[in-house]
Structure formats: structure tokens, C-alpha cells
Amino acid sequence: MVVNSGKMTVIAIDGPAGAGKSTAAKQLAGVLHITYVNTGSLYRAVALAAHRAGIEPENVTRDFLDTLHLEYGNGKLLLNGEDPGEALRTPEIAQGASRVSALPTVREYLLPVQRNAALKEWIVMEGRDIGTVIFPDAQCKFFITASIEERARRRLAQSGEIASGATLESVIEEIRLRDERDSTRAAAPLKQADDAVFIDTTGKSISDVNAELISFLPEELQKRCK
């Protein structure tokens, strides 16, 4: 990977739902002993807050957002001072997050929350637009994906975010819907940055994926893994 010292000390990991981004990003942050930021949880927190207030995702306004207190520090997300935990991981909140994420006002609101997470130290930040919009100057960028069948199988195996009675077909359909919404929205759609390394995790183990990611990191970071 080409390293430009004027760039941000950020490892940006983007890709669609269920591609294995979170697992890879978390492990990478673990071996490098650096902070991991999952930006999807910020969109999920907005969706959860709207849901609790009885507001449809599409009707979230800046005034509503300004009533929230959302922060991401030390790898932990707090919504109005509380860790929302598993409440963020339901199928309804996953779709709600995808819906609020199409609103430019939500993206504008979350931009400084994400940028403030990157200080002088290296961080791993995972999402949809980290390499394209949040940190176009990130030193390391990856775009991780996998076949839709494999992504659905992994979701089923995780079970947390799956509605009861879900089948492989219904999960494929749910992922297809989310992919379409995330990649066709006008505001910061999901797409690979021109300078991102593309990794297809289909059929690969977590340790294979991690070794592949590490092989593209600058030497300064690779040394930390030994």
C-alpha cells in the first residue's frame, strides 16, 4: 500500500452488510492495539432513538437530532449517556439505520462525531463511506465484500439480527434490500474508493482475511503485529 505521511492515520474499512467487515476490523484493531470505531452503530443509534420517540426513519429532522447526545469514545458508543447494547442489533433497527442513513441531515450530523474519533493515534473505522467521504485522506483503505449467499449464511449463523422463522431466502432478500438502498442513495452511497484495496472474503477464514489485510498495511503497523 502506498503511504503518504500527510494522510490521516486511519484504516478505513468499507463494504456492504454481512461482508465480514466488523469481525475483520475488530480483530485488526485488537492485534494492532488501536481503537475500533463501528460507524454503523451511530446510524443504528439514530434509528433507535427515532423508534423510541415514535418517529418514522424518513421523518428524522435536524431539530430531533439536536435533542440527542451521541458520542463515540474509547471504542464505546453512548446514546444519551447509555450504552444501547443489543437494542441496536434487531432487524427493525438494521433497516431503520439504512433508512435514516439516506438522509443528508443525518449524515451531516454524524460527520463530526466520526471525524472527532480520529486523533493522532491510528484507528480502524468501519462503515460504508469512510474511505470516500469521512476520511478520503485515510492512509489505508479497504473495501470488503462477499457473495450475497455467503453474507446471508453468516447472518443466519450469527442469529442475533435475524427475525424468528427467517430462511436463507428471506435473509438474502433482506440483505438485497439494504444493499440496494445503501448503494443507490444520493448522499454518500456505498461504493469502493478508487484507492481502496478490494478484498472478497467468500470462502475465506477470518484468519485468512486478517493476514490479507495485514499484508497491505504500512511497515510501521505490520511491525506491531509481530
Q: Are 21 and 144 in contact (CB under 8 A)?
A: yes
Exactly one of 27, 35, 40, 152 binds ligand DC (CB under 6 A); that residue is: 40
Q: Which three cell numbers stand for residue 36?
A: 475500533
The distance of closest approach from Cβ of residue 97 to ligand DC in the complex, given in angstroms and rounded to an integer, is 4
Cell numbers placing 41: 452503530
- For the bound state, the minimum distance from the C-beta of residue 222 to ligand DC, rounded and expressed in Å, comes to 26
**Cell numbers given for 25:** 476490523
Give the footprint of ligand DC on residues 91-150 (CB under 6 A): 94, 97-98, 101, 127-130
**Contact between 44 and ligand DC per CB under 6 A:** yes
Relative to beta strand 197-200, strand 35-38 is unpaired
CA 43 to chain centre: 9
Q: Binding residue for ligand DC (CB under 6 A) from 27, 151, 178, 210?
A: 178
C-alpha separations of 68 from 83, 85, 210, 222 in Å: 14, 17, 36, 39
Closest approach of ligand DC to the CB of residue 47, in Å:
8
Q: Measured between alpha carbons, how far is 132 from 124 in angstroms, rounded to an integer?
A: 15
Q: Cβ closer to ligand DC: 43 or 142? A: 43
Q: Give the x/- contact pattern for ligand DC in 15-34, rule: CB under 6 A.
A: --x-----------------
55 touches 67 (CB < 8 A):
no
Nearer to ligand DC, 129 or 150 (CB): 129
Q: Are 91 and 162 in contact (CB under 8 A)?
A: yes
Cβ distance 196 to 143 under 8 Å? yes
43 touching ligand DC, by CB under 6 A: yes
CB-wise, 111 or 218, nearer to ligand DC?
Answer: 111
Number of residues that bind ligand DC (CB under 6 A): 15
Q: Which is nearer to ligand DC, 44 or 141 (CB)?
A: 44
Binding site for ligand DC (CB under 6 A): 17, 39-40, 43-44, 94, 97-98, 101, 127-130, 178, 182
